[in-house]
Amino acid sequence: MDQLSHYFSAFGPFVILAGAAFEGQTAVIAGGVIARNGVISPLLAVLAAALGSGVLDYVLFVLGRSFRSSGFVRRVSRKPAFAKALGLIERYPIAFVLSFRFLYGLRAAGPVAVGVTQIPTLLFALLNALGAVIWATVFVGLGYMFGPAVMTVINAVMAHLAPVAIGAAVVAVVGGLLIWRWRVWAAERTPPAPSEVRAD
């Protein structure tokens, strides 16, 4: 864990930023756990997570607004989540932009769907930034609050990881050999097809 802490001390904000953009809340919660252990500051973890999420979602919004004929936008628009997002935007436009990060299945479809609506770009940019900060604060806060419990689980997993990995490897190898031997045995006992039997 000391090596992990050193890694996060040097690269933590960048890892959280990338994780918030491409993975989601799990990476942000991990950032809160690391912040609880004093490796990075909680404020820096929140800012990194908000920046990663906000920038990616703004890019997705621009794709929906300016590149509607692109293959990516067409694929997203065919998904059920896109139609669901449009319905929510029509009823609750401001609330949707602030909260789509918290809605399951709408992380990618949400900002693209906003892009194809009439919501002004400046309004989306402001609401998107505010929503990213709220989202980052919530999940970094969760990691920070429950950090000790999470670290206990991680330490327990790390302590048993090597034996478990070795055991899994042994089981996989033995199982593979047994399956291979069974297939050879089955092939030897299978009679040849009539067409393969040559008449004398």
Q: How far apart are the C-alpha atoms of 163 and 159, rounded to whole Å?
A: 9
Note the pLDDT of residue 19: 87
Note the pLDDT of residue 40: 86
Note the pLDDT of residue 23: 78
Q: How far apart are the C-alpha atoms of 57 and 72, rounded to whole Å?
A: 14
Residues 15-39: tens digit of each pLDDT: 889 888 887 888 888 888 888 888 8
CB 58 within 8 A of CB 128: yes
CB 51 within 8 A of CB 137: no
Cβ neighbours, 10 Å, residue 79: 14
Mean pLDDT of successive 10-residue stretches along the chain, which has 200 residues:
57 85 85 85 93 94 89 88 91 93 87 93 96 95 80 57 61 71 66 53
Note the pLDDT of residue 93: 93
How is the chain split into domains, by residue range?
2-145, 151-188
Note the pLDDT of residue 108: 84
Q: How far apart are the first and last CA of the chain?
A: 74
Note the pLDDT of residue 25: 84
Note the pLDDT of residue 95: 94
Q: How far apart are the C-alpha atoms of 4 and 20, rounded to whole Å?
A: 19
Q: Please tell me whether residue 45 adopts helix, strand or coil conformation.
A: helix
Residues 55-70: tens digit of each pLDDT: 999 999 999 999 888 8
Q: Which of these, 21, 33, 12, 11, lies nearest to 141 by C-alpha position?
A: 33
Note the pLDDT of residue 167: 63
Token reading at 180: 């291979």
Which DSSP category does 38 fall into? T
